[in-house]
């Protein structure tokens, strides 16, 4: 396991804040590190669910399509397992709230998250793409309409879309399943405008999410990393802020707000 570096010092935080305030269109990419700080276990690494129990089948979507009824039964039977139970009790941490604060300050224009935990929404993030889906939602594979899970009757499986009659599936993206086109288009639209990306709680190695951040850097944009550890992208970052998202992002949001007030005074 990589060793955590020293905690980001105030001047590094202020340097990041200056870059954010100077950016024309800043976005953020968030990952599993933020979920872990809200008590949700990771998949990989020490203590990860896949480390303990093995990786799930890599053809999950194909299995769903082959027998949707069975796939739904299996999913519903796991509602209280070691993955889903923490999702039901997790709450947004200060890192989630800091991104909302920076959105309200109009300095963060869009957030792309790899997390399925719904915590960005619960925190109040409005400009958001959940690239791997949201565990609280059910999506129609035909018309892509999303419904809250409580709005769908699961007595009869597989459920049908109330809007078009199509096949419904959990919104979370299964292995082997294409990322929904509407989400990909949103990510592409906002990342194409971006000249700065905050990468928080992720090493940005899982595609296509990682590609949106790295493309901004390749176009000459700024990359700010918030992570406990050095990662594969550290060498490409303009600023690397060491520490957890729940600790660093609030400091960053506070610095942004203070520097904006200073500039207006």
Count of CB atoms situated within 10 Å of the CB of 211: 15
CA 202 to mean position of chain CA atoms: 9
Torsion of CA 156, 160, 163, 169, to 10 degrees: 110
Q: CA 185 to CA 179: how far, in whole Å?
A: 10
- Which residues, including other chains, have CB under 8 Å from residue 57's CB and lie 6 or more apart? 63, 175
Q: What is the CB-side half-sphere exposure of residue 67 using CA atoms within 13 A?
A: 7
Q: Are 256 and 17 in contact (CB under 8 A)?
A: yes
Known catalytic residues are 132
CA 125 to mean position of chain CA atoms: 11
User: Encoding tokens for residue 46?
Assistant: 């020490």
User: Encoding tokens for residue 192?
Assistant: 């194409």
Q: Cα angle vertex 128, ends 62, 45, to 5°?
A: 60
Q: CA 220 to CA 99: how far, in whole Å?
A: 23
């Amino acid at each position: 396991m990589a060793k955590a570096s020293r905690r980001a010092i105030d001047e590094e935080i202020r340097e990041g804040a200056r870059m954010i305030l100077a950016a024309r269109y800043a976005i953020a990419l968030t990952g599993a590190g933020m979920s872990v700080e809200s008590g949700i276990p990771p998949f990989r690494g020490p203590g990860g669910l896949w480390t303990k129990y093995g990786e799930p089948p890599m053809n999950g979507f194909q299995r769903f399509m082959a027998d949707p009824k069975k796939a739904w039964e299996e999913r519903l039977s796991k509602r209280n397992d070691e993955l889903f139970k923490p999702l039901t009790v997790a709450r947004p941490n200060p890192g989630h709230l800091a991104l909302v604060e920076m959105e309200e300050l109009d300095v963060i224009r869009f957030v792309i998250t790899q997390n399925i935990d719904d915590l960005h929404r619960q925190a109040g993030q409005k400009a958001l793409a959940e690239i791997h889906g949201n565990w609280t939602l059910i999506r129609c594979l035909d018309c892509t309409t999303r419904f809250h899970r409580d709005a769908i009757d699961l007595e009869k499986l597989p459920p049908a879309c109330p809007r078009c009659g199509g096949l419904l599936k959990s919104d979370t993206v299964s292995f082997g399943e294409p990322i929904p086109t509407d989400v990909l288009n949103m990510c592409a639209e906002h990342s194409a405008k971006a000249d700065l990306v905050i990468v928080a709680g992720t090493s940005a190695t899982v595609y296509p999410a990682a590609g949106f951040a790295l493309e901004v850097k390749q176009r000459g944009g700024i990359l700010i990393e918030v992570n406990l550890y050095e990662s594969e992208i550290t060498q490409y970052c303009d600023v690397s802020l060491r520490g957890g998202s729940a600790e660093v992002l609030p400091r960053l949001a506070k610095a942004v707000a203070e520097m904006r007030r200073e500039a207006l005074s």
